[in-house]
Every structure is written in structure tokens, then in C-alpha cells.
Amino acid sequence: MSELRMENLVARYGKVTALDRLNLTIKDGELVTLLGPSGCGKTTTLRSVSGFLKPDEGNIYIGHRNITDIPPEKRGIGLVFQNYALWPHMTVFQNLAFGLELRKVPLEEIRKKVRSVLSIVKLEGYEDRYPRQLSGGQQQRVALARAIILEPDILLLDEPLSNLDALLREQMRFEIAQIHKRLGITTLYVTHDQTEAMVISDRIVIMKDGKVMQDGRPEEIYLRPTNRFVAGFMGTTTFLEGTVQTIQGDSCMLKTFEGWELRGIACGGVTPGTKASAAVRPEAVEVLYSPIGAVSGKTPAENSFEAEVDSSYFTGEVIDYHFRLGSSFIRVRGDTKRILKPGDKVTVRIDPDRLPIVPAESI
């Protein structure tokens, strides 16, 4: 097992900088996910580590070994592809045995290893099948098995679940997480699916324009985003803009441009007097189903506002509402037992402990 370290990686495609001085360390046995929109540099990072792309600047280390100029076949890296890339003319056994044969491992040992790895990915007895005789999920498991059978120092997974249907994708997330826990291989995982990243990662690295926007544990990334991009990328976020009034410890008071006061969590080094954005997520908004003056005759609670239903969408589990809050909109999820109509007035309360307030300027 080994640590993977990237130092000042720069990769350019013509005039476009795909990686802009990327520094990233993945500790021994850790599973780190690169997450970001298309073109953010996550696949370029993965291709640089795998050796299929030579970075213009910087170095890549596995442990103390500088692998920047080492060809892919000598890096000791296992790779799982989005399209599985199982060789169609080989059976499952031959696909798995390929790398071992190149290393001149005796046939009996190859057989033993293939059996053992197939049991890890729950495909015992599939040795003689061809890839075309397997379902998408089974093919993905074989691709994973082919990568781990060589006991690589580093495992790279390039959007491995994106070709699977939603149900299978959800199941495979947990399986990959479990296999990683069992084997403890240092793993770099690339995806654009935030839920996938949250479920399987020890750490998530959010990227944009070849730079790291934030690097942290999944809950940190989600609950304490350090900038507007991360706050907007994670979850279903709508923003309320304003100026920071006060900061006490973690707590931050924001006065919106419409004059409402919002308490939330100070994130990303916001300071009093600066413009900031409150990242409102549906799960932080409680719907009280009555106009603000009618709520138990009490004075309005903190972070409570009157809102008007603008539109609603039935999704099955919940109703997805767009509420008008002054001139702004927020997304809210409501109970299917009580359906509001456009034009209805309600009171909403935003939980201050789940309301990150981040610097307004976009990075």
C-alpha cells in the first residue's frame, strides 16, 4: 500500500489549462474522490496519474518513487474504466489472468487468484463467460476484479458507475465502498455524481478549472463549503445574497439585500461588512404551512419568513416547491400529504445549523 502525491501538476491542451498547479496527497489506504463539473480537470488528473498523459509541469509520486516519467505499464496502477474496457475476445478468466500471465505467474496460482478475486466481487463461477454474456453490473465487477487482482499500489476508477442504471448504480456504490474497506488499496475515484462521492469517499476533492476548490471529508464539504462554487455544486442549493453583520464563533448573521436577517454558519472566512451568500438547501427549510402572522400568535422565530408558492412538482417521495421569498426563490421539499398550490402563502424556517454562509464572490 502506498501514498499518492501530486506536486504542482500543470497540464495544458493548447491554450486551455486543464490542471493549474494541482497539489494533492492521497494517504495510504484512503479513498479520495475527484468531483466536479465536466472540464474541471478530474479526468486529466487521473490520466496523468495513470501515465497516459504527460503533465507539462510537476511531479507525481507513489510513496517516495517519482513516477512522472515512468510508462503506464510499469507504474503498478490498477485502472477501472467508465466503459469497463473488458477485452471482448477473452473470457472472464482470461481477462483477469492477462496481467498475471505477463508477470509469468504459474497457472495454478493464477487460477487460485482468479477464484479469490471473483469471490470478492461476488462472481464465482463466471470464469468461462465472455463479457457479452454478462450484464452491465457484472461487467463492472469484472473490470474491478481485473484491476485489483494485480494488487496495485494505487487503484484509479474513472466514473465506473456512470453507465449503469440508477438502481444498480446505488447498489454498486456500497459494494465498491465495502471492497475498498476490505482491501485498503489507496484509491482515486473520479465522478461527477455527488451522492456517489459522498457514499464511498474518505475525502472529496472538488475541482473547477483545473484547481482544487475544496478538499475535505464528505460532511465537511457538504455542511461547511468554503466558497460559493462548492456550496452550489453540492446538493440542491439556492442562494440568498446579503452583507455579513456579525460573526460570533461559527455563527454568522447575514442581512439580505431585502432587509431580512439570517443566521447561519460562517464558512470560507467571511468577515463582517463583506458580501456573502447564504446557501439554502431544501432539507434545511421547514414549512409551517401558515402565513407568518398566524403561527401560534408568537413573535416570528429566528430565520422565519413568509413565502409564497411559485410552482410545485410532484416527484413521488416529496413535492419539490419553488418558493418566492421577496424577489428571490428558494427550493423546498414538502410533504405529499399536504399539497400547496401556487399563490399559497406559508411560513418557512431555515435551520441556522444547516445554513452555510460563504463569501459571495465566485472563484
Partner 1 sequence: MQVSISATRKGLTVPSYIMLLAPAVTFMLLMYAYPFLASIVRSFLDKSGAFSFENYLKTIDLYTKDIAFTFTVTIFNTVCTAVLAILIAVYFRIRQNRITTILSAIYKLPLFIPFVVVAQMMNSFLAPHGLLNVALAQLGLIDLKQPLQLFNFAGLSFGFLWKQVPFAVLIMHGGFQMIDNSYIEAARSAGAGMGKVITRVLIPMNKSSILVSLVLVYSQIVGTFTLPYMLIGGKIPTTITVDIAHRVNYFRDFGVANALGVFSYLLVLLTAWYYLKTKLGETK
Cβ 302 to partner 1 shortest distance, Å: 54
Q: Is 13 in the site for partner 1 (CB under 8 A)?
A: no
Per the listing, cell 400529504 goes with 337
Query: CB under 8 A: which stretch of 49-57, 116-124, 222-230, 248-256 binds partner 1?
Result: 49-57
Helix (H) or strand (E) holding 94, with range, is helix 92-102
Q: How far is the CB of 333 from partner 1 (least distance, A)?
A: 39
Nearer to partner 1, 75 or 203 (CB): 75
Separation of alpha carbons 180 and 193, rounded Å: 18
- Does residue 2 interact with partner 1 by CB under 8 A? no
| CA distances in angstroms from 324 to 57, 288, 332, listed in the order given | 49, 15, 10
Is 133 among the residues that bind partner 1 (CB under 8 A)? Answer: no
Residues in Cβ contact with 301 at an 8 Å cutoff, skipping those fewer than 6 apart: 295, 349
Q: How far is CA 363 from the centre of its chain?
A: 19
- The single residue among 23, 66, 83, 311 that binds partner 1, judged by CB under 8 A, is 83
103 binds partner 1 (CB under 8 A): yes
Select from 75-83, 274-282, 304-312, 329-337 the region that touches partner 1 (CB under 8 A): 75-83
C-beta closer to partner 1: residue 51 or 218: 51
Among left, alpha and beta (phi > 0; psi -120 to 50; other), residue 51 is: left
By the rule CB under 8 A, 42 interacts with partner 1: no
Among 36, 41, 55, 78, binds partner 1 (CB under 8 A): 78
Nearest CA-CA partner of 264 in 273, 279, 277, 251: 251
| Of positions 2, 33, 43, 50, contacts partner 1 by CB under 8 A | 50
Please tell me whether residue 79 binds partner 1 under the rule CB under 8 A: yes
User: How far apart (Å, rounded) are the C-alpha atoms in residues 336 and 353?
Assistant: 25
Residues 200, 33: Cα–Cα separation, whole Å: 8
Residues that bind partner 1 (CB under 8 A): 50-52, 71-75, 77-79, 81-83, 85-89, 98-99, 102-103, 146-147, 150
